[in-house]
């Protein structure tokens, strides 16, 4: 299993992985819109041989500091529970840190994302339509510069079909 940046040749395969993982087309359409909007800041694939078996995307957020939103994360059903999702998240975090982002926000299962350092308690000061018990933040490069403010996902997330 290998992790690398997406290329144009991966686009169709990524959509297939996302659809299979979520069992519907909404998240694949979201990724297409984010890419078309120029908001695919970090888009990584996990490969096995020539096959794309997993994908993660991070898009810029409007926030009081440079921040990314992680969504969606997907692994083909038959490849799940082998550490591929974890490897994608860890690689994405490394790249975000190297690009000097100060935080990554995610809406997800705290049990899953907690293992990578994402925290619900640090996200409570940030208002967003997604705020709630599943809203988390991972500070990068030290403590968050500010602990409250308004954060907003990239425009594609506002689409009512999501
Ligand atoms: C969430 C997802 C990306 C995880 O990928 P993965 O490669 O299976 O994850 P990992 O192997 O790195 O993580 C393993 C751990 O995560 C947890 N986990 C992973 N998938 C899980 C699932 N479907 N249900 C419950 N726990 C799960 C388990 O605790 C597992 O540990 P274990 O195998 O020791 O029990 C994958 O299940 C998926 O694509 N799901 C559908 C899409 C989705 O919900 N994406 C997340 C929201 S954006």
Rounded Cα gap, residues 129 and 1, in angstroms? 36
The overall average pLDDT reported for the chain is: 96
What is the b/e burial string over 30-41, where b = at least 16 CB atoms within 10 angstroms of the residue's CB?
bbbbbbeeebbb
Q: In this structure, which residue's CA is closest to atom 29 in ligand 1?
A: 112
Region class of 74: left (phi > 0), else alpha (psi between -120 and 50), else beta: beta
Q: Is the pLDDT of residue 20 over 60?
A: yes
Domains and CATH numbers, the chain: 2-158 (3.40.630.30)
Select from 71, 75, 162 the residue to mutate for testing ligand 1; criterion: most ligand atoms less than 8 Å from CB. 75
Query: Strands 51-61 and 135-139: what pairing?
Result: unpaired
Average pLDDT over residues 68-94: 98
Ligand 1, atom 34: nearest CA belongs to which residue? Answer: 81
Q: What is the pLDDT of residues 113-149, one digit of tens each?
A: 999 999 999 999 999 988 899 999 999 999 999 999 9
Which of 16, 73, 81 gets mutated to test ligand 1 (max ligand atoms within 8 A of its CB)? 81
């Amino acid at each position: 299993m290998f992790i690398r940046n997406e290329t144009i040749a991966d686009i169709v395969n990524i959509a297939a992985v996302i659809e299979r993982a979520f069992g519907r087309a909404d998240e694949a359409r979201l990724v297409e819109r984010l890419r078309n909007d120029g908001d695919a800041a970090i888009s990584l694939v996990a490969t096995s041989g020539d096959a794309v078996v997993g994908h993660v995307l991070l898009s810029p957020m409007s926030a009081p500091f440079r921040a990314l939103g992680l969504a969606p994360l997907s692994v083909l059903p038959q490849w799940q529970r082998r550490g591929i999702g974890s490897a994608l998240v860890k690689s994405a975090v490394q790249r975000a840190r190297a690009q000097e982002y100060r935080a990554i926000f995610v809406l997800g299962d705290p049990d899953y994302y907690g293992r990578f350092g994402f925290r619900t308690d640090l996200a409570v000061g940030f208002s967003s339509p997604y705020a709630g018990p599943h809203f988390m933040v991972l500070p990068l490069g030290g403590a968050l510069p500010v602990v409250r403010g308004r954060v907003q996902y990239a425009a594609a997330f506002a689409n009512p079909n999501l």
